Amino acid sequence: MLRNLARPAIRTAQRRCASTTTPITSEIPLTNLELRWKTLSAQEQGSLAKHLEQIQAGDWTKMTLEQKKAAYWVAFGPHGARTPLTGPNHGLKVAAGTAGVLAAATALFLWIRSKGSEKPTTTTKEWQEASNEYARANKINPITGISSENYKGDGFIHLTKN
């Protein structure tokens, strides 16, 4: 019921739109539409799309090459919702931004590290040798580790300089 009441209003609006947009389409040439699309107003774009839709409703063999190109551009061109999100040199901008962030993070890390206190005592070679003796005395990891027979590894010694 509600649909039937709305149909006359929609048809009336379509007739008004068609009557107001018909003169505009006759003024707009279809050649090089790709280059001029952004300069057209929204009303001109809409009336041109409606005009091309009416042309396509007829026999396609009677359409000119310009009309076919324009219809394709209006339907599938990179405008409106299909506008690309990225522009030229976007990858270069992302790479430069990433390199800048990494450089800043490295500089911050090195600055914090330079302002830090002395190294902990557990990183000295003497401490690590003492850890090896403790592991052998308490038979830590007797199967494959430092307390096993014929063990040839360094144990807990990981640093060669103090």
Over residues 20-47, the pLDDT tens digits come to 444 455 567 787 787 788 888 888 888 8
* Closest alpha carbon to 73 in 121, 20, 30, 131: 30
The whole-angstrom separation of Cα 137 and Cα 143 is: 15
pLDDT(111) > 90: yes
Which of 7-21, 45-59, 132-146 bottoms out in mean pLDDT, i.e. has the lowest?
7-21
**Whether the model pTM is above 0.85:** no
pLDDT on residue 130: 94
